Structures are given as C-alpha cells and as structure tokens.
Amino acid sequence: MGGVWPLTAYANDPKQAEQIIKAVNGPPVVIKLLEGTQGIGVVLAETLKGGASIIEAFRGANIAIMVQEFIKEAGGTDIRALVVGGKVVAAMKRTGAADDFRSNLHRGGSAELIKITPEERSTAVRAANRMGLNVCGVDMLRSNHGPVIMEVNSSPGLEGIEKATGKDIAGLVIEFIEKSARDGKTKTKGRG
C-alpha cells in the first residue's frame, strides 16, 4: 500500500530530532504517541525548534513517538470509513473544533455523513485487509496526492458514526459475526 500513508518517521534518537522533522518535509509536523486514543498525545509542531523540543521531551521520558508530515490541505477534517467484512458500510467526515487541527469527536469536533470516492473506499478496504481486520475504522485525510491513511482502529467507537450516518453499525457488525459463524459451521459439517 505504498503512497497511502503520510511520510512518517519514528523518533528513536532525540539528538536526531531536527533531521527527523526534515525527513517528513516539515515543519509543520504532527508528533504522535504510538499508544494514544481520542486525539490524546497528538501535537502539531509548527517550527523546527519547537518540534525538536517536543521530540526531545517525549524521548527523554522514554515515550515512543512517531513524526508525520502535516497534510495542510485537509483543513482540519478527516474521513472515518467503517469497514465490516471487507466492505465500507458507513463513512463520515469529521471536522475539528475551530482552534484545533485534530478532528476527533472527543476533542470537540463534529461529524457529518459523507459520500467517499471509489479510491477512498478501496484504500479503506485494502487497509483493513492488510491489517487482517474484519471490523475497523480507517481514518483518512484528503491530500493533494489522494487519500492518506492516518490510523486503522481495531476498536472504533460507533456512537459518532451511527449518529452521523443514521445507520445501525452495531447491528451490521452483529450480522457479520452471525453470518461468519453460520458459514464456519456449514464448512465444518461438510468436512466432518
């Protein structure tokens, strides 16, 4: 899936902070904790010195982080595509609060129904397949060079996307599990 991820570097050596920022075409850059949720631990560093300082602080505390290029043209919005059983069953556009580049609903963002492009749909399904996930949320940004994946979430929250799309996503997940179980039992009986 080359080309669908933003330029990303893992910041292992705080002494190399400025080189890491330059390697992802920054500043500005997005610095993320490797283990975070709901936008917590995601920081926008707008200057080289500021970014280096953030990287040094995190790495000095032995916190694993990554540094990504900032996709300015996304304008503080992203797309969450929910994939169930190899199909995108719902998609929403999330827009960040007026003063925040993060679009997480838990950070004050809003969500609305969106029709995604065939390329975005294909990108989400390929990401789910690559990660070996039957159910996941794929977060993408619209960049000048097509959709870029920000995250594949194996345990996506459903409340926001159900509200934005009016779909019973939990019901679709349950139907998929039930169908998979039935198909699995049928195959097992046929071999037994």
Give tens-digit pLDDT for 111-126.
Answer: 789 999 999 999 999 9
What's the predicted TM-score (pTM) here?
Answer: 0.79
Q: What is the DSSP string of the chain?
A: -TTSS--EEE---GGGHHHHHHHTT-SSEEEEESS--TTTTEEEE-SHHHHHHHHHHHHHTT--EEEEE--GGGTTEEEEEEEETTEEEEEEEEE--TT-S---GGGT-EEEE-PPPHHHHHHHHHHHHHHT-SEEEEEEEEETTEEEEEEEESS---HHHHHHH---HHHHHHHHHHHHHHHHHHHHHHH-
Predicted confidence band at 102 (pLDDT cuts at 50, 70, 90)?
low
pLDDT at 62 over 90: no
Predicted confidence band at 91 (pLDDT cuts at 50, 70, 90)?
very high
Pair of tokens at residue 134 = 């039957």
Mean pLDDT value of segment 139-149: 92
CA–CA separation, 155 and 135 (whole Å): 8
pLDDT at 61 over 50: yes
